[in-house]
Amino acid sequence: NAGVTQTPKFQVLKTGQSMTLQCAQDMNHNSMYWYRQDPGMGLRLIYYSASEGTTDKGEVPNGYNVSRLNKREFSLRLESAAPSQTSVYFCASGLATYNEQFFGPGTRLTVL
Amino acid sequence: QKEVEQNSGPLSVPEGAIASLNCTYSDRGSQSFFWYRQYSGKSPELIMFIYSNGDKEDGRFTAQLNKASQYVSLLIRDSQPSDSATYLCAVRNDMRFGAGTRLTVKP
């Protein structure tokens, strides 16, 4: 089992460009999450999906959109990237909301 | 604003010593907590879950929870260089993480 996979691993964007970060899990988990991690600030929740067909805002949702494509896949979209969105993005999944989360390897995004 | 506070460190301990990592939280309604370990450049992985006041032991790791004082701690006994990592405290019911404490275990 691959666990949680994320693509791409690295990305450089120019201000105003758009992109989608992809996440997939093969553990048959119901809940999926997107976090960003910045130096000195820990992990901050952007959006989560408690189950297929639902999405909810987390602590820092502005500038992002998400799609729960099916039970396995949860994507994060930046419509118009800004330098403040330079960060490491982690996708995670869990059997249910508030349960243990399993994290993907992360995407390191730089916005110039 | 709900807060989860951790001393960012770095915390340095010699090999074989006990490392003590602390986390305080502001929301009295918080009931249960996770401790995650994150090696440099890697993703977090769960090492402990605690929801009852008192101690919970798992191998060399002991998590301690004191709801009256609103803190949760992690003790690592017989610390090893392989324990060098950042340790993240997380509140289960709102998925809020502390900034993490960086631990270095010196041989």
DSSP per residue, A13-42: E-TT--EEEEEEE-S--SEEEEEEEETTTE
Percent of chain A with pLDDT over 70: 100
Q: How far is B95 from chain A (nearest CA, A)?
A: 7
Q: How far is A102 from chain B (nearest CA, A)?
A: 7
Please give the Cα distance from B101 to B92 (Å, whole number): 18
pLDDT digits (tens, 9 = 90+) for B61-101: 999 999 999 999 999 999 999 999 999 999 998 889 999 99
Chain B residues with CB-CB distance to A44 below 8 A:
97
Whether B1 shows a pLDDT value over 80: the answer reads: no
Q: What is the mean pLDDT of chain A?
A: 95
Task: Mark out the alpha helices in chain B (DSSP H runs).
Answer: none
Which pLDDT score, from 0 to 100, does residue B52 have? 87
| Two structure tokens written together for B101 | 């404490």
Mean of the pLDDT values across residues A12-26? Answer: 97
Chain B residues near residue A6 by CB distance under 8 angstroms: none
Chain centroid offset of residue A41 CA: 17
Residue A23's pLDDT band, with cuts at 50, 70 and 90, is very high
